[in-house]
C-alpha cells in the first residue's frame, strides 16, 4: 500500500533512475500514479489547485495577465522583435522566455541578461511575448496530463505558426531547464519537433567563438548548481561550466554533489508549487552544501533553482548562517556583468559585491 504523500514528495529529479544499476524507471511509476490520482480520483495536494486554474485561465502559474509577459522587453534599452506570426528569414533564433523568465522578478533579470548578451553578440533573435503560454510542464509533472496536453498543443500551434519547426533552420532558445526539457523532449510526442538549445549552450558557444568577451575581473568564488532537468535529464553539464571558466579572475569551487550526482533544489516535478512541510527543506539542504564551498556566488541555469536556492540563502542570511554578500544568480547574469566595464556592472542586477 502506498501513502499518497509518498508520490507527491517526488521532485522528479531523476537521481534514483540515474543511479539504479538495473534501469528501474521510478519516475514513470510515480508519475503514472499521480496521473491516476489526479485524473480519476481528483485527489492531489490542494495548494496545486490555484496554480492549475491559473494555467488553464491565464496560461501561467501565477495567473498574471498575458500582456505582462512583454513588460521585461520594454525594460531593455534595445529593440527586441516580438513575433506575430512567422519568424523573419534573417532571424536565426526564437527565444522562448518561459513564464518565470517573463514574470518572476529574479528570473527576469536572467532573461534580460541573456537578451543583452545575444544582442551585443549580434545574434538575430525574436520572442513571442504575450504569444507564449506555460509549456505545461508543471501540470504534466503533477499528473494533470489533461492540462498539460492542452497547453502543449497550443504552444505547438504557436511555434509551428512561427515556422521554427525542425527543418526550418531555426532554433529555439530556452532559458528554463523545464521548458527546455518539455519542448525538446516531450513535444515530439505530440508532433512538435524543434531544435532546442539551452541558453548556456548558446552562450558558451558565443564565448568560444569570441563573440562574447568577458573582460571584467570580479575576484569572486563561484559554485555552480546543476539544474536536474538540464544536467541529469538532458546531459548539459559542460556549457555552464565553460562560461564560468571563461570569466576572468574567478575561482570555481564544485560542490561535493555535482554533475550527474547533483542534489535537487526541490522545485522539480511540480514541487515548486506545493508546500513542503514534512522533514527539512530540500532547498535549505542544497543551500547549505553550496555555502559550504565558501562561494560568493551560487550560479544556476534555471529559474526554479534560482528561486529555491535564492529563498534558502535569504533565509540563511536572516539567521546569520550566510554572509550578506552571497548571491544566487543565473550564469548569464555573471557573464553579462563580466562583459561590462566595472562602473556599469550591476546596472540591472542591483547587488554586485565589490570584494576588493
Residues within the interface to another protein (CB under 8 A): 1-7, 9-11, 13-41, 140-141, 143, 145-146, 149, 181, 185-186, 188-189, 232-234, 261, 263-264, 266, 278-282, 285-286
Q: Which is nearer to another protein, 26 or 119 (CB)?
A: 26
Of 176, 137, 132, 99, the C-alpha closest to 332 is 176
Of 260, 247, 110, the C-alpha closest to 173 is 110
CA distance 252 to 221: 6
Grid coordinates given for 109: 533579470
Q: How far is the CB of 304 from another protein (least distance, A)?
A: 13
Q: Which is nearer to another protein, 189 or 351 (CB)?
A: 189
Q: How far is the CB of 5 from another protein (least distance, A)?
A: 5
Distance of CA 36 to the CA centre of its chain: 28
SS3 15: helix
Q: How far is the CB of 290 from another protein (least distance, A)?
A: 14
Distance of CA 69 to the CA centre of its chain: 16
Q: How far is the CB of 158 from another protein (least distance, A)?
A: 20
Which residues, 6+ apart, have CB-to-CB distance to 173 below 8 Å?
93, 94, 95, 96, 114, 118, 125, 196, 197, 198, 199, 202
Of 325, 105, 348, 305, the C-alpha closest to 218 is 325
Q: Which is nearer to another protein, 1 or 350 (CB)?
A: 1
Cβ atoms of residues 12 and 141 within 8 Å = yes
Q: Which is nearer to another protein, 308 or 322 (CB)?
A: 308
Q: How far is the CB of 171 from another protein (least distance, A)?
A: 19
- Half-sphere exposure for 111 (CA within 13 Å, toward CB): 29
What residues pair up with 306 in beta bridges, in sequence order? none
Q: Which is nearer to another protein, 286 or 340 (CB)?
A: 286
Q: Which is nearer to another protein, 35 or 317 (CB)?
A: 35
Q: How far is the CB of 351 from another protein (least distance, A)?
A: 28
Region of 85 on the Ramachandran plot (φ > 0 left; ψ -120 to 50 alpha; else beta): left
Planar angle of CA 216, 300, 176, nearest 5 degrees: 115
Q: Which is nearer to another protein, 109 or 286 (CB)?
A: 286
CA dihedral 151, 118, 300, 165 (to 10 degrees): 30
CA distance 215 to 335: 9
Q: How far is the CB of 85 from another protein (least distance, A)?
A: 28
Q: How far is the CB of 20 from another protein (least distance, A)?
A: 5
Of 307, 152, 294, the C-alpha closest to 227 is 307
Q: Which is nearer to another protein, 27 or 204 (CB)?
A: 27
Residue with cell 571563461: 246
Grid coordinates given for 11: 521532485
Q: Which is nearer to another protein, 188 or 249 (CB)?
A: 188
Q: How far is the CB of 198 from another protein (least distance, A)?
A: 13
Q: Which is nearer to another protein, 14 or 129 (CB)?
A: 14
Q: How far is the CB of 3 from another protein (least distance, A)?
A: 5
Amino acid at each position: 500500500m502506498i501513502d499518497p504523500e509518498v508520490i507527491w514528495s517526488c521532485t522528479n529529479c531523476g537521481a534514483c533512475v540515474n543511479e539504479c544499476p538495473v534501469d528501474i524507471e521510478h519516475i514513470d511509476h510515480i508519475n503514472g500514479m499521480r496521473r491516476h490520482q489526479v485524473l480519476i480520483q481528483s485527489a492531489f495536494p490542494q495548494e496545486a489547485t490555484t496554480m492549475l486554474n491559473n494555467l488553464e485561465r491565464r496560461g501561467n502559474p501565477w495567473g498574471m495577465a498575458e500582456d505582462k509577459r512583454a513588460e521585461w522587453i520594454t525594460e531593455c534599452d534595445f529593440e527586441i522583435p516580438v513575433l506575430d506570426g512567422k519568424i523573419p528569414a534573417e532571424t536565426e533564433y526564437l527565444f522562448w522566455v518561459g513564464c518565470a523568465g517573463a514574470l518572476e522578478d529574479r528570473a527576469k533579470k536572467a532573461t534580460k541578461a541573456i537578451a543583452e548578451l545575444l544582442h551585443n553578440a549580434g545574434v538575430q533573435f525574436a520572442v513571442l511575448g504575450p504569444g507564449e503560454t506555460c509549456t505545461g510542464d508543471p501540470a504534466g509533472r503533477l499528473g494533470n496530463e489533461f492540462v498539460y496536453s492542452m497547453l502543449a498543443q497550443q504552444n505547438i500551434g504557436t511555434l509551428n505558426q512561427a515556422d521554427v519547426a525542425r527543418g526550418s533552420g531555426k532554433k529555439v532558445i530556452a532559458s528554463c531547464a523545464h521548458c527546455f526539457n518539455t519542448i525538446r523532449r516531450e513535444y515530439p510526442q505530440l508532433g512538435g519537433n524543434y531544435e532546442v538549445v539551452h541558453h548556456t549552450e548558446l552562450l558558451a558557444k558565443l564565448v568560444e567563438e569570441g563573440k562574447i568577451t568577458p573582460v571584467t575581473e570580479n575576484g569572486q568564488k563561484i559554485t555552480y548548481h546543476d539544474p536536474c532537468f538540464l544536467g541529469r535529464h538532458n546531459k548539459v553539464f559542460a556549457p555552464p561550466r565553460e562560461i564560468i571558466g571563461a570569466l576572468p579572475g574567478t575561482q570555481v569551487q564544485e560542490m561535493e554533489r555535482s554533475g550527474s550526482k547533483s542534489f535537487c533544489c526541490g522545485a522539480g516535478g511540480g514541487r515548486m508549487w506545493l508546500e513542503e512541510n514534512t522533514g527539512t527543506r530540500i532547498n535549505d539542504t542544497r543551500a547549505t552544501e553550496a555555502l559550504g564551498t565558501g562561494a560568493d556566488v551560487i550560479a544556476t541555469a534555471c529559474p526554479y533553482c534560482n528561486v529555491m536556492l535564492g529563498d534558502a540563502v535569504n533565509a540563511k542570511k536572516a539567521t546569520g548562517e550566510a554572509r550578506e554578500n552571497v548571491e544566487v544568480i543565473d550564469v548569464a547574469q555573471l557573464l553579462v556583468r563580466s562583459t561590462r566595464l566595472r562602473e556599469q556592472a550591476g546596472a540591472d542586477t542591483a547587488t554586485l559585491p565589490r570584494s576588493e
